[in-house]
Structure 1
């Protein structure tokens, strides 16, 4: 296994950095390790060059450029030491403790550069929230700091709220550095032609319409006649410890009451999707006691499969389901499983994580005989849907449609990816996924290819 270090909140596989260095034709051998403590901790590379030189400054610059194309900045060494040989242990392995102390004279160019304008300062604060890190430099790259497409979407939403400009998500990919994205925001503010209306809470009795994303999923469900679970989001959480049944039911009921989306259904009127809100009393959370069954694990797997593949009725709901399974003791600990399933029309992957964390907080509070203290939600998703339909119409809608029609013109109707089996005449929606750990060199190559293509590999 490759040696791993933690640097500024990131876990770095040293072997991955070494593999990237060895891809350079002028590098014969390379070792990477972390030196220093706290905020002074840095990655150092000891390099044996393929050819000798009196001045290795050009090679040092070339290696930095080389690594920038292969690795995020936080994985690139801050210091390069060019040596004639590497110390070895008696069994022939690299003796990392005996590597020469690094020369830090070349770090001045890599010093932190503070945001220089009010726009950069505010944007750096948004990055800090989304990326969960401090000390954002104006030359930092969003994706090098751990950003990906989902976080880019969240960042754009925060930019919209903070700067009152409507940038597309692609702007983060095209201008990933802080100072460049800040310039794009300033430019968009100067030439803003479509003012964004504020999101306002809707009255409880006002008619509600689905968002455009919900309307698309509703159409797909009607097209497939609701016969499959393609857009279900099942989760099984194995929990250890004693179960407080009353607190369990109370916390799930509290969560359903808190999030209107979980109570949403989509009845149809004259071929048009409408939005209905179910009462919290319409939800039941069954508890199955399997502790006396000799084949509890087998029954568990069967119930997990059934829970995940049972289709949802979008018209009637509920579109959120939860149930609890008690399995018995294992190593003197109670083992339980919480099954959650939602239709994608009321949630997404990011929201699922939020819901699980809020359920944990609520359950803990009810176990203690207290009420959850989470801040009330200022808006519900139906408020966003109303805002979206109010804004995305007229000239704004025409501009958006024109952009996508132009960019998607000429794309193939069907993506012909090579597969192991021929594509069936009718989509079956049957599949699975498998986890696989990739070697460091393959991971490095994939990241380099992704950066060249302007996409993320996550």
Structure 2
């Protein structure tokens, strides 16, 4: 069947699964009912002949792959990225391998994409290797630190705290999530759930003050929290404005540094809908932490119990200080010192308003969807080029910036996770670092060659992601030049949808894309990957750009992706925006 389809369909349209059913389910309107289709239950057919594990390392890797991908019948010659693997799955794979005392870089997962190749790499690199490295810390449980009156801040949170000291009325570091929930919510129960989470996660009770001239973190034993509740007998005409009115500055010494509001309103028929607004300060919460908060809130609301946390962010912070003293992490410092040596070019995109440091951090986000057909085609194209989807999308962003700025040497920032240790996955806190990505999209360069350069640069950056960027910036005395982060003024983020909130205690829910997000950089691109589609979100400073300018930029980015996908051998200069 697969070979028959190959005669008339491109590779990206050939299904991974084939399931025989008696009839095609349809909705009342006669359209395909995707939700009624049965779940695939057989092995994905990659075209590779099944090969069983031949040694203990391959057996262990196979168990981990099955757990991560939830795919039966995997052979040792099947490609990780052809049977459901993606960038997030690669991170989880690395964490599971670390739990089993297997030391690999994230770049190794993209390089050795089958169990056979990865096992050969592991065996070869463990023979005779007795050097003590960061792996010793990564494979050992993080130990709790002794209780103190207060704890020192790491460089990133220190940077945020210092910003808030001089910009106390700013919401630049507010992180906002919004959910629609149908049916009736038990307000009292939701209040109790949040109180349990506050006691469970120390960061939700954290205050930030100056002690002996230094910024510190103080963990309160208990705090008071009140869920805001409002009931409207009308529809909400402008969701964005309603959310924006809820987003306010936080007082850093007065926890909690988050607030939640529940709004019950008429849905336009005879019933009611609910809007839940979650507003966090980023000093206590990254995007993954927000997913943890929502997931655990759902579990507690549904009556489930949760195991107590053995460690908290203060324990991680002490552990991480030890980590960056390891010899192999010192090599990372050398790598970044060389990378940041000399002049680092800023991206000079023409603005609609004067480019001044007084542009502020007021921002707006323009979100566009990439249709499913193009998304699948891009994934297939990335596989053909032996690159990740992230590398392909990042390459296209470099090209877009080059077209707008007329520059062929560009540097942008990217967020990486600090949750390398398995103990950290379900903790709340700011587990993020920043890496610099620098590439030269010369007009005469073949795009295929450029993807390879971007992929290699991305893997090097990810392999050296442990050394704190903000510490490095202080050590090298890098100028911020009016920006929160030194060196670059544009940012790229690629995230899996992670915890997609679809139900809470059986209620249908969906997430609302809040637009009035603060802009820490002149312009940023966020790419969101989920099982059905890709979404892109351009966040920008409203003091620099008009919305129509950014909307056009987003459409130009999608057009570049189409051109890249349709033409195998384009030079960068031939890619029009």
Bin of the TM-score, shorter chain as denominator length: 0.5 to 0.7
Q: Match for residue 307 of structure 1?
A: 246
For 1:189 and 1:270, locate their aligned partners in 2 and report how far apart those are by CA, in whole Å. 47
For 1:77 and 1:324, locate their aligned partners in 2 and report how far apart those are by CA, in whole Å. 42
| Pairing partner for 2:223 from 281, 287, 291 | 281
Q: Match for residue 151 of structure 2?
A: 208
Deviations 1:159-201 (A, max 9, x none): 2222163x43333233333333334444554434313253112
For 1:224 and 1:144, locate their aligned partners in 2 and report how far apart those are by CA, in whole Å. 50
**Greater relative CO (CA pairs within 8 A, separation 6+):** 2
Deviations 1:21-55 (A, max 9, x none): xxxxxxxxxxxxxx5xxxxxx6852516xxxxxxx
Q: Match for residue 371 of structure 2?
A: 438
8 Å CA contact 1:211, 1:386 repeated in 2: no
Q: Match for residue 7 of structure 2?
A: 47
8 Å CA contact 2:261, 2:277 repeated in 1: yes
Question: Is residue 63 of structure 2 the alignment partner of residue 125 of structure 1?
Answer: yes
8 Å CA contact 1:265, 1:315 repeated in 2: yes
Question: Is residue 316 of structure 2 the alignment partner of residue 388 of structure 1?
Answer: no
Q: Match for residue 152 of structure 1?
A: 90
RMSD of equivalent CA atoms: 3.7
8 Å CA contact 2:207, 2:217 repeated in 1: yes
- Cα distance change on mapping 1:411 and 1:259 into 2, 3 Å: farther
Q: Match for residue 5 of structure 1?
A: none
Q: CA deviation at 1:336?
A: 1.4
Query: Mean alpha-carbon deviation: is it higher for 400-409 or for 245-254?
Result: 400-409
Question: Is residue 355 of structure 2 the alignment partner of residue 412 of structure 1?
Answer: no
Q: Match for residue 381 of structure 2?
A: 448
Question: Is residue 114 of structure 2 the alignment partner of residue 177 of structure 1?
Answer: yes
Deviations 1:287-331 (A, max 9, x none): 11223xx5x5147543312234x2334444422221211214654
Structure 2 SS opposite 1:297? coil
Q: Match for residue 96 of structure 1?
A: none
For 2:384 and 2:167, locate their aligned partners in 1 and report how far apart those are by CA, in whole Å. 41
- Mark the structure with the bigger radius of gyration: 1
What is the TM-score of this pair, normalised by structure 2?
0.53
| Pairing partner for 1:297 from 216, 236, 243 | 236
Q: Match for residue 233 of structure 1?
A: 175
- Cα distance change on mapping 1:246 and 1:206 into 2, 3 Å: same
8 Å CA contact 2:80, 2:114 repeated in 1: yes
Structure 2 SS opposite 1:337? strand
Deviations 1:63-103 (A, max 9, x none): 9xx95xxx59x85799xxxxxxxxxxxxxxxxxxxxxxxxx
8 Å CA contact 2:257, 2:284 repeated in 1: yes
Deviations 1:387-435 (A, max 9, x none): 111222153442221233345556834235x567478222533121212
8 Å CA contact 1:237, 1:338 repeated in 2: yes
What is the TM-score of this pair, normalised by structure 1?
0.66
Q: CA deviation at 1:211?
A: 4.7
Q: Match for residue 247 of structure 1?
A: 189
Q: CA deviation at 1:359?
A: 0.9
Question: Is residue 127 of structure 2 the alignment partner of residue 193 of structure 1?
Answer: no
For 2:354 and 2:73, locate their aligned partners in 1 and report how far apart those are by CA, in whole Å. 50
Q: Match for residue 418 of structure 2?
A: none
Q: Match for residue 262 of structure 1?
A: 204
- Cα distance change on mapping 1:269 and 1:123 into 2, 3 Å: farther
Q: CA deviation at 1:337?
A: 1.4
Structure 2 unaligned residues grouped into runs of 5+: 19-44, 391-528, 530-577
For 1:121 and 1:226, locate their aligned partners in 2 and report how far apart those are by CA, in whole Å. 55
- Cα distance change on mapping 1:303 and 1:444 into 2, 3 Å: same
- Cα distance change on mapping 1:263 and 1:281 into 2, 3 Å: closer
Query: Mean alpha-carbon deviation: is it higher for 403-412 or for 253-262?
Result: 403-412
- What is the aligned residue count? 357
Q: CA deviation at 1:251?
A: 0.8
8 Å CA contact 1:44, 1:77 repeated in 2: no
- Cα distance change on mapping 1:245 and 1:222 into 2, 3 Å: closer
8 Å CA contact 1:322, 1:340 repeated in 2: yes
- Cα distance change on mapping 1:225 and 1:204 into 2, 3 Å: same
Mapping for residues 84-99 of structure 1, pairs under 5 Å: none
| Pairing partner for 1:402 from 312, 325, 334 | 334
Q: CA deviation at 1:253?
A: 0.9
